[in-house]
Amino acid sequence: MATNAELLAALERDVLEAAPMVLGMYLVRGDLRARVVEVEAYRADDPACHAFGKSKMKNMALFEEPGKAYVYFTYGNHWMLNIVAHPHGDPAAILIRAAEPLAGLDEMRLRRLKAKRDEDLLSGPGKLAAAFGITGEQNGTNLLSADSDLRLVHGSKPGKIVAGPRIGIAVGKAHEYPWRWVDSKRMRWVSKPWPQLPS
């Protein structure tokens, strides 16, 4: 967990350093609040990154200022929320994959009618975006500004942080990079079980 200033400094340096710092921070929008428990990192030299070998159009926000939101759409239905990292022009981002709901559960349930249990509300990047009402409109929002509609704030200390391979990356696209981090004390809220639990 980090303060906004600490996170911004890390985002400017290295996305791999910044990503685990987001665990434990709170994502806030209106009365909605949730603790981040799972993140993934993407970089310019990473074959799985949208900006790998290309630029412009949908990934434009990826080249913007660190701390801004990069929101994009996939699989026909799903929005994904990322935090932009690295200085202007060097694309990198942190995908927020899952969170523990803390406040505004009723509003989240209304947006996630298919969620049978509270564990289903935010346990996946598409679910999290749906529960928070995040769409392309939030693309470019400054997530570190107290004035923003959607923002990250200083949260509470996470349990032990564990790293492992990312989810949903095609074989050959650096799928083995251990660039996914979870709060091991809050596995209940994570999107997918750990591939191989360290025993």
Partner DNA sequence: GTCCGGATTACCT
Partner DNA sequence: GGTAATCCGGACT
Query: What is the total count of residues that contact DNA (CB under 7 A)?
Result: 38
Distance in Å, CB of 197 to DNA, minimum: 15
Residue with Cβ nearer DNA (5 or 87): 87
The structure tokens 């890390």 sit at: 10
CA dihedral 76, 194, 52, 3 (to 10 degrees): 100
Residue ranges of alpha helices (H) inside the chain are 4-13, 15-22, 105-111, 125-131
> What's the Cα-to-Cα distance from 101 to each of 57, 135, 179, rounded to whole Å?
33, 19, 24
Of 15, 32, 49, 85, which lies in the binding site for DNA, with binding defined by CB under 7 A?
Answer: 49
What Å distances lie between residue 95 and 70, 99, 199, CA to CA?
A: 9, 12, 27
Contact partners, residue 75, CB within 8 Å, separation at least 6 = 126
Residue 67 lies near DNA (rule: CB under 7 A): no
Query: In the set 4, 120, 142, 153, which binds DNA (CB under 7 A)?
Result: 120
75 near DNA (CB under 7 A): yes
User: Which window, 28-36, 152-160, 169-177, 179-187, contacts DNA (CB under 7 A)?
Assistant: 169-177
Binding map of DNA across residues 15-34, x = CB under 7 A, - = no contact: --------------------
- Cβ proximity of 24 and 1 under 8 Å: yes
| Residue numbers at the binding site for DNA (CB under 7 A) | 40, 42, 48-50, 54, 56-59, 62, 70, 73-78, 80, 82, 93, 95, 112, 114-115, 120, 124-128, 166-170, 173, 191
